[in-house]
Chains A and B, each alone.
Chain A
């Protein structure tokens, strides 16, 4: 059963999380819930990216203990997606902070977090 290995399960979980997040963004009315949905999508993409870099029966890309210097290329998983995800997590923090602060400003101005109350960008 090829679908019951680690990389398939984690990619599948990532896709499910992505769909949940997208559903939340489209269907929810509360701005805070929309922001939470954005965070879920963020996490799902991290999960998918990391599992794309996974290689079966290999270990983390750190040269220590059983992983020897000479044949590191045969023993470690792909370090590039992991570095990308490290970058993406930090940027995700920044984006979440900005979204939350905009929500706070909107609430200060109109005393409402319902997205239906904001008509100024609708056409």
Chain B
């Protein structure tokens, strides 16, 4: 009883604070200085039609590198925690329905294509590497559901992840020598504004981010799936 009333007090106090915040809040009238810079100078400096992409990949590219590293760390910790002995013989095979197998055979290439489209067009449309990578990982979930017997090799995923991570960092370092600084995208020509091959290195970098995120999320799903199989 005392516990519940203390809880209620805490929640009510926070609600009071939030009410004050909300009543004091008045919406923005215009962009602040940083956002204004991105919206005016950013177009000619970076050349990406999607301003969010120009912030994520170029202006705050270092943060994105850290973010990808965090995802990698998560996948690595999960793989370490669920280090399974590679004897998967005792896992009984689920019987997958014919419908699911046929549907996934039709859908898998389409889903992969959509994912790749999303991260290649990240500088033009509201897409990007992270969204595209998540779509690729969802294709992996479908694959796991439909073909329960086949083992998907970790080595392939690890290879894709390592290659795209190294390429991301190398493109960043290339920016130090050829352009203004780390992860500067003007190492390639900026091209025509709004075209697919524009905005310098952004489509390339975002493709590598997409591949890396897709591989990492797939790795997480695979590890969790394998522990599920072992426990049974």
Contact = CB atoms under 8 A, between A and B. Distances in A.
A23 interface: yes
Secondary structure at the B interface, as helix, strand, loop or mixed, is helix
Residue from the set B49, B52, B220 with the largest chain A CB neighbour count within 10 Å: B52
B76 to A, nearest CB: 11
Residue from the set B39, B67, B71 with the largest chain A CB neighbour count within 10 Å: B39
A115 B68 CA distance: 32
Contacts of B113: none
Contacts of A105: 81
Contacts, number: 133
21 contacts: A8-B22, A18-B14, A18-B18, A19-B14, A22-B10, A22-B11, A26-B7, A26-B10, A27-B4, A27-B7, A55-B28, A55-B30, A63-B194, A72-B40, A74-B30, A80-B35, A86-B56, A90-B213, A91-B67, A93-B217, A101-B224
Nearest to B63: A87
B84 to A, nearest CB: 13
Contacts of A98: 74, 77-78
Given A55-B28, A86-B56, A90-B71, A19 B11 contact: yes
Interface size class, chain A: 35 or more
A80 B35 CA distance: 7
B67 A61 contact: no
A62 B49 contact: yes
Interface residues of B, number: 56
Contacts of B54: 79
Given A83-B60, A101-B82, A101-B224, 6 more contacts: A7-B27, A22-B11, A54-B27, A62-B124, A73-B40, A78-B28
A73 B28 CA distance: 13
A85 to B, nearest CB: 9
Contacts of A89: 130
Contact of B78 (A12, A73, A101): A101
